[in-house]
């Protein structure tokens, strides 16, 4: 048979006076809790400041990495790492933890994009170099093939092309060679649009024959 | 050269951030045409600039330090260029450093020679001391005096604060960043001051 629990006496909100030991214990506990709360709030503030410092150090490192990537890409025709669009009107200000994190993430994405583009570019240059080596080894099997200096990641407008030696005679005799064109076309003064042929004026770029 | 004030909350968040101030007494107008020697010096500096050098500039210590500071202040230095990169880009686009006035040319020479941007105020319009501070928590970082905000950091003050024909004391200031040796900032202010004082 279950015993019925005796009804609990309600705890008075205010302790009756005249128990100094109990009052001291309660006051001590409250003071301890208050100190704990203050300390944890300070700890959070300190932790946030430390996190902001860490993020700023990361931003500094990422900025150096982005600069390195862009300068490395300069020799390979340049890799455009476009800045991410900013949401707010730009003004120098102290960033919050969240803003620093967002800034770091955008910068990381840009570095990854720049490195990917550089890797693609160097891979394409490597393929062009292999093509040129094959052209040089067996010109007869790569007739009229062309590799531009730009494809090789070199400056200038030179073009490597497999051409017959002595023109028609070489073509008939199977004498093929790789020739490097002399470079960029000479600069010419642009004619005003009104003097050009209408069909020519519509074309956005003028075509230059190499060499 | 005097050290300007940096608000404690800024100094705590961005160690190395500093403000340097120099007062220069000038004999004549600083907004008039620059003397021939200064224009020639600017032309010499202009001739020394190469495209590849401008590209590699971002990795040199002073511009790199300012780029990092810009990032810490929420500015993308590829969108809003640090002063020396902006000057170099302008030089490449225009084909030369253009002479504008004694004041502009003196500040440009100081910038190109040291990589540190220098800004100028009319001394008679300055109230109290210059201070680098945030307008509000999370607000703009600005340069101000006792009368209020003068300009956002790394931006030019409004026309009402700029030196005029009547100005006889020019207040030059530069913002230092972590990684920028103080001697560069001193050199920038000294160069601009010497050129203005004649």
Give the whole-angstrom CA distance, residue B153 versus residue B22: 17
CA distance B40 to chain A (A): 31
Give the whole-angstrom CA distance, residue B78 versus residue A88: 16
Is B23 near chain A, with CB under 8 Å? Answer: no
Using CA atoms, how far residue A43 sits from A34, A51, A99, A109, B111, in Å, is 14, 12, 21, 32, 43
Mean pLDDT of A82-90: 59
Amino acid B97: pLDDT = 92
Residue A162 pLDDT > 90? yes
Question: What spatial distance separates the first Cα and last Cα of chain B, rounded to whole Å?
Answer: 18
- Quick: pLDDT tens for B14-61: 999 999 999 999 988 899 899 999 999 999 999 988 888 888 899 899
Which pTM value belongs to this model? 0.74
DSSP E strands, chain B = 2-3, 5-6, 18-25, 119-122, 131-134, 141-145, 148-152, 169-176
Q: Are A211 and A181 in contact (CB under 8 A)?
A: yes
Amino acid A209: pLDDT = 37
Put simply, the chain A residues between 52 and 91 with a CB less than 8 A from any chain B CB are 52, 56, 59-60, 63-64, 67-68, 70-71, 74, 81, 83-84, 86, 90-91
Interior angle at CA A59, CA B182 and CA A115, nearest 5: 120
Note whether A86 contacts B52, CB cutoff 8 Å.
Answer: no
Q: Are A129 and A109 in contact (CB under 8 A)?
A: no
CA distance A101 to chain B (A): 11
Note whether B134 contacts A103, CB cutoff 8 Å.
Answer: no
Give the whole-angstrom CA distance, residue A144 versus residue A137: 14
Amino acid A152: pLDDT = 87
Is A94 near chain B, with CB under 8 Å? Answer: yes
Note whether A90 contacts B80, CB cutoff 8 Å.
Answer: yes
Using CA atoms, how far residue B93 sits from A175, B50, B90, in Å, is 49, 12, 5
- Quick: pLDDT tens for A137-153: 999 899 899 999 888 88
Is B182 near chain A, with CB under 8 Å? Answer: no
Backbone angles phi, psi at B38, to 5 degrees: -70, -40
Q: If you compute the radius of gyration of chain A from its CA atoms, what whole number of angstroms results?
A: 38
Option in B10, B71, B74 nearest A63 (CB)? B71
- Quick: pLDDT tens for B68-85: 999 999 999 988 899 999
Note whether B72 contacts A71, CB cutoff 8 Å.
Answer: no
Is B51 near chain A, with CB under 8 Å? Answer: no
Note whether B10 contacts A52, CB cutoff 8 Å.
Answer: no
Q: What band does A69 get if pLDDT is binned at 50, 70 and 90? A: confident
Give the whole-angstrom CA distance, residue A154 versus residue A160: 12
């Amino acid at each position: 048979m279950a015993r019925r629990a005796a009804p609990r006496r309600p705890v008075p909100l205010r302790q009756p006076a005249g128990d100094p030991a109990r009052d001291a214990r309660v006051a001590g506990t409250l003071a301890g809790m208050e100190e704990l709360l203050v300390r944890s709030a300070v700890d959070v503030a300190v932790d946030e400041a430390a996190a902001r410092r860490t993020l700023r150090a990361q931003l500094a490192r990422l900025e150096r990495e982005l600069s390195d990537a862009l300068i490395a890409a300069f020799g390979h025709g340049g890799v455009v790492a476009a800045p991410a669009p900013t949401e707010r009107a730009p003004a120098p200000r102290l960033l919050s933890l969240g803003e620093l994190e967002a800034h770091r993430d955008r910068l990381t994405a840009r570095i990854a994009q720049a490195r990917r583009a550089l890797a693609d570019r160097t891979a394409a240059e490597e393929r062009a170099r292999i093509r040129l080596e094959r052209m040089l080894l067996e010109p007869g099997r790569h007739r009229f093939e062309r590799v531009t200096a730009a494809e090789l990641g070199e400056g200038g407008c030179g073009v490597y092309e497999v051409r017959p030696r002595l023109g028609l005679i070489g073509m008939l005799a199977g004498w093929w060679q790789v020739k490097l064109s002399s470079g960029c076309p000479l600069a010419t003064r642009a004619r005003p649009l009104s003097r050009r042929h209408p069909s020519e004026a519509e074309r956005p770029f003028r075509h230059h024959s190499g060499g | 050269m005097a050290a300007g004030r940096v608000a404690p909350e800024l100094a705590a968040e961005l160690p190395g951030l500093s403000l340097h101030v120099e007062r220069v007494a000038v004999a004549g107008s600083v907004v008039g045409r620059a003397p021939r020697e200064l224009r020639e010096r600017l032309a010499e500096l202009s001739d020394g600039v190469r495209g590849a050098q401008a590209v590699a500039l971002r990795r040199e210590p002073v511009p790199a330090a300012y780029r990092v500071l810009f990032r810490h202040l929420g500015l993308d230095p590829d969108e809003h260029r640090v002063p020396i990169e902006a000057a170099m880009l302008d030089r490449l686009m225009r084909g030369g450093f253009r002479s504008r006035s004694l004041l502009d040319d003196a500040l440009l020479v100081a910038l190109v020679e040291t990589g540190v941007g220098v800004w100028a105020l009319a001394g008679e319009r300055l109230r109290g001391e210059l201070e680098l501070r945030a307008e509000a928590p999370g607000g703009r970082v600005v340069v101000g005096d006792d009368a209020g905000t003068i300009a956002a950091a790394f931006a030019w003050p409004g026309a009402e604060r700029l030196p005029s024909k009547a100005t006889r004391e020019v207040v030059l200031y530069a913002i230092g960043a972590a990684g920028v040796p103080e001697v560069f900032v001193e050199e920038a202010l000294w160069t601009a001051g010497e050129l203005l004082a004649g």
